[in-house]
Amino acid sequence: MLTTGHNPSTALPPVRIRSIVAAPLFGESPKGGWSAEIRPEDSIHALIAVHTDAGITGYGSVFTDGRLVQAALKVLEPLFLGENALQPERVTEKLHQNTFWMGRGGTLTHTISGIDIALWDILGKATGLSVGSLLGGRYIERVRPYCSLLMEMPDRMHDVVAPYKARGFKAFKVGWGPFGRTNDAGLDRAIIAATRDALGPDVQLFVDPGASDAHWPQGLKWALRSAEMLADYQVGWFEEALKPDALEDFCTLRRASPVPIAGGEVLTRRQSFLPWLERGAFDIVQPDVTKVGGISEQRRIVWMAQDYGVRYVGHGWNTALGVAADLQLATAFPGVDLVEFIGGSPYVDGILREPFVLDADGMLPIPNKPGLGIELDPAGVARYTPDAEPFFAA
């Protein structure tokens, strides 16, 4: 519990990091629509457990092959062992500062993201506060999830969205798949028309062609034409419409497009976002808390984006722990009204004791319990990782 006054003896004692363990997830990896498609046996996500000498364990999520995460933890171990887990920003900044020469933004940064999320979870559990409260306060108690699904051919889109509409989702993002990959503008339009017809006029729709895919074939002129088409179907934003390094083209597209332009999921650390915000490349910025450096880094990016008048919607194509972090971030900033939610991923739906459930309005309640406010199901996690015992060891 929290203490008051200035007597140092009343402060919380340090909670020392004893070990950090990664659980690579295998077996049910959801398809990504990538040209080199994800196979179920591939690892694209990992869970992180930070164990402490106080018996408190915090959990996080990393968007990276879990075997790379395990290797990164070996590199980082001399830097985090014995550190005070109640100081997430200081500890993770130490990890960033002492590893930059190995390459900013890759496996190490992604792994630090998961560690940082877990440290905030520990701080919440130690103080009895939710992460959203620790970040400064709770603006909202629930938020609308948008169901993230892959595009198919037009005659399949009704079947793609119908089960999730029946579950109560009132916002959807469709992406990747054949859209933009066939040089057939008629097919692109037919996919969106079929999706809008299946959803009806009152459901929010967002479109993500996935131009960060390998060897994306389209450029600015295609994006400009597509943006005009998407406006005909009341699309709420056009995400990753250009190759992820095409800053000048993003600026041009954003100025010309009748549909808001979103992006930023491939960027890591706050410094990478500065030129995109300064140049006005995005209407909506989408950092991913499981890649960008964790909660500590994401909150700096969010406040920076708001200073530039750019809307924040976190990228959340990850796990239930990623969703939990996104929910806490959603409540901690004014004006956040959406979180991403992968449709049909066992790594979201199958690893919690109490899975996320939409309320009658299609909203997700934001947990107000200590830390991230969720509890992992050990049996559920064990289905998707080779050795779950060290992960849950107290």
Task: Tell whether 89 and 148 lie within a shared domain.
Answer: no
Residue type, 165: K
160 plus 294 within the same structural domain: yes
Identify the pLDDT of residue 310: 98
189 and 269, same domain (yes or no): yes
Q: Give residue 9's pLDDT.
A: 52
Q: What per-residue confidence (pLDDT) applies to 3?
A: 47
CATH number at residue 143: 3.20.20.120
User: Contact 319/342 with Cβ under 8 angstroms?
Assistant: no
Which residue stretches of the chain have pLDDT < 70?
Answer: 1-10
Instruction: Judge whether 315 counts as a catalytic residue.
Output: yes
pLDDT at 379: 97
Could you give the CA distance from residue 145 to residue 83 in angstroms, rounded to a whole number?
36
Q: Looking at the domain assignment, is residue 304 inside a domain?
A: yes
Task: Examine the domain organization and report whether 287 and 383 are in the same domain.
Answer: no
- What is the domain count for the chain? 2
**pTM of the full predicted structure?**
0.95
Look up residue 331 and give its two tokens.
Answer: 């409540």
Q: Which residue has the tokens 């989702």?
A: 169
Residue 164 confidence (pLDDT): 97
Residues 155 and 291 in one domain: yes
Closest CA to 146 of 171, 167, 174: 171
Task: Answer yes or no: is 273 within a domain.
Answer: yes
Residue 216 resides in a domain: yes
With tokens 């050990």, the residue in question is: 378
Same domain, 175 and 45: no
Inter-CA distances, 300 with 63, 69, 139, 297, 307, Å: 20, 24, 17, 5, 11
Structural domain boundaries enclosing 291: 136-376
Q: Is 3 part of any domain?
A: no
Q: Identify the sign of the CA torsion 338, 342, 343, 344.
A: negative
Looking at the fold, whether 40 and 181 belong to one and the same domain comes out as no
- Please report the pLDDT score of residue 335 as a whole number: 95
Residues 160 and 49 in one domain: no
Q: Which of 51, 96, 110, 315 is catalytic?
A: 315
pLDDT at site 2: 47
CB distance 194 to 158 below 8 Å: yes
The answer to whether the Cα torsion of 80, 5, 133, 276 is positive or negative is negative
Query: Do residues 290 and 368 both lie within one domain?
Result: yes
